Structure 1
Amino acid sequence: MTSQRKGILVTGTHRSGTTWMGKILSLPEEVVYVQEPFNLETSTNSIDYRFRHWFPHVEDLPDRERLFEAMERTLRFAYVPRPPAHLSRYRAARRVVRMHLENAVHRMRGRTPLVKDPLALFSAEELAARFSFDVVCMIRHPLAFCSSLKRWDWKFPFAHFVEQPRLMDTFFTDDADVIRDYAGDEKPIVQQAVLLWNLFHKVIRRYESDHPEWHFRRHVDMVLDPVDRFRALYDDLELPFGQEIEEHLRESVSGGKGETNTDVYGARDAAAVTQTWKKRLTPEEADYIL
């Protein structure tokens, strides 16, 4: 049995290309993609734990040791989620057996788990310390981020921050009043997006200062110069970068759409990704964001 190398955590803000980054880094056979274990709605697809808030901060969890135990099972490929209720007993049994076999192969071959989860941003330090993750953190331009949230009308319940006191004390003591204001009085989507971007990147800037060993990447840079920048990142992560991966990468930034409102991975059009904000935002909104 091959020994397992440490895992990779791909995080950053949502709508920053974490799915694309995670899927591209998971192209080598020895890397296994794990989808958003910190997702409030779908966590049990990847981990035996249910969260109470969007963007949870593990220091606010009264049962965080149970979370760590569950995460460890996921990372060593020992977790199999319960099949969907709509499946027949036969199909459910087949799925469980298949996933057990896949996990056994992952363990036998010492494959690397790659956790893609922007929702783990506020917990990245604790996760990296506990599980020795290589951390890749995605950064997106404020105009692109805010226009994306506007396009898909992704409003945010700021009470989920207020209800996590250690999160507020750790990162947002100077922002507490405005966060509480947004939690109690829903603001227009662009205003929400601006506050979110500022809060997320306040945390990211702190990480950049405290963790020079992490890998911080701007979405626009990766899209406009994908081959050279991904080759360098592959080297940093000690992953093999060959011709097949390069071809797949080139296809991922040509002939597709700018972005979607889901986590489904598909081809991106580089020009669309970097320019669509101009079609989505009014000049007044762009001025407000900047």
Structure 2
Amino acid sequence: MNPPVLVTGLPRSGTSWTGKMLAAGGELVYVNEPLNPQHPPGRSPGVLRAHVTHRFQYICDDNADAWLPAFRDTVALRYRWAAQLRANRTPYDLARMIRYGAAFGLGRLTGRRALLDDPFAVLSAGWFATRLGCRVIALVRDPVAFVASWQRLGWTVYFHELLEQPLLVRDHPEVELLRPLIGSQDRLAKAAALWRVTRTILSRLPGIHVTSYDDLAADPLPGFRTLYDHAGLTWTPAAERRITHACTAPTGPARSFAWTGLSRTAYRPMDSRQALRTAARGLTPAEIARVRALTAA
């Protein structure tokens, strides 16, 4: 059986873009953020029949009983219609149920594999590789571009959600470095600290293919050919055409975030090289220097 694929990395590190480009070859069924605790895109029992309690939910062998059966269903493209029907509350939920249920069913009939695009799986990427047999691709973005993106969106991170997961603290004690920033209003320092701790964890996880988002955006075709090879996907002329089109689309009015379709993904066609040139917008030279200092090895 061909393995499922997990694309992960911190939010705003290019996971949706990368996942969509991998799915362009037609061999994968794209599944958007099953571990996102916010509905949508998460809290969808048809896709993942498990209760997500934290952002960056930590999964390991010691709590796998609650997660392994659910994710085995997800990567096998077994959609839980009854569970989803009971959870539906809006017309959007109904439309999403039909879309995902049909995609899972068609995927199973045609022998496609699941592709999980989930930044919230980043700290559990090792478990996905060893227990679920996923081909894991972890995106790492330049820290200045990452922090600038979070600043433009007004995002922050609540470190208590990581620190109140004892198994995470046990297996990755560097998360304790985040404790002094609990309650801090310094969003730049918090984003930089999250980037540094996550990068340290990813560097030692087994079975993880860590990829620079910036290198991928600078030269998409050879980069994606490498990722196709790692994921066991077939590089076809159709995939190459689709990726070329999606990565050279003219840049429209400045937007830092956009929903597209029922998958609720932040992906949209873009000129990936141009996106790199404007990635640090919004940060002053002093803030850029500070981010570099805070994330230096």
Alignment TM class, shorter chain as reference: 0.7 to 0.9
Quote the residue 1:225 is aligned against. 219
Mapping of residues 187-198 of structure 1, within 5 Å: 187-198=185-196
Instruction: Specify the SS of the correspondent of 1:204.
Output: helix
- Within 1, Cα distance between the matches of 2:96 and 2:36? 22
Instruction: Specify the SS of the correspondent of 2:7.
Output: strand
Deviations 1:155-194 (A, max 9, x none): 1111001101221122134x52x422212x2232111111
TM-score between the two structures when normalised by the length of structure 2: 0.84
Question: Structure 2 counterpart of 1:26, which letter?
Answer: A
- Within 2, Cα distance between the matches of 1:146 and 1:97? 36
Cα distance, 1:143 vs. partner?
0.7
Mapping of residues 63-74 of structure 1, within 5 Å: 64-74=64-74
- Within 2, Cα distance between the matches of 1:114 and 1:107? 13
2:30 to 33, 36, 40: 33
- 8 Å CA contact retained: 1:256, 1:266: no
Mapping of residues 1-290 of structure 1, within 5 Å: 4-42=1-39, 43-45=42-44, 46-59=47-60, 64-80=64-80, 82=84, 84-87=88-91, 92=94, 100-173=101-174, 176=176, 178-183=177-182, 185-207=183-205, 210-211=206-207, 214-254=208-248, 255-256=250-251, 260-262=256-258, 263-290=265-292
The answer for unaligned runs of 5 or more in structure 2 is 259-264, 293-297
Distance 1:101 1:223, change over 3 A: closer
Question: Structure 1 counterpart of 2:226, which letter?
Answer: A
How many percent identity over aligned positions? 27
Instruction: Specify the SS of the correspondent of 1:273.
Output: helix
Question: Structure 2 counterpart of 1:280, which letter?
Answer: G
Q: Point out the more displaced range, 272-281 or 129-138.
A: 272-281
Cα distance, 1:219 vs. partner?
0.7
The number of residue pairs the alignment matches comes to: 276
Distance 1:226 1:60, change over 3 A: same
Question: Structure 2 counterpart of 1:67, which letter?
Answer: W
Instruction: Specify the SS of the correspondent of 1:236.
Output: helix
- 8 Å CA contact retained: 1:9, 1:117: yes
Cα distance, 1:148 vs. partner?
0.6
- 8 Å CA contact retained: 1:5, 1:110: no
CA root-mean-square deviation: 2.5
- Within 1, Cα distance between the matches of 2:120 and 2:61? 15
- 8 Å CA contact retained: 1:137, 1:215: yes
Question: Structure 2 counterpart of 1:76, which letter?
Answer: A
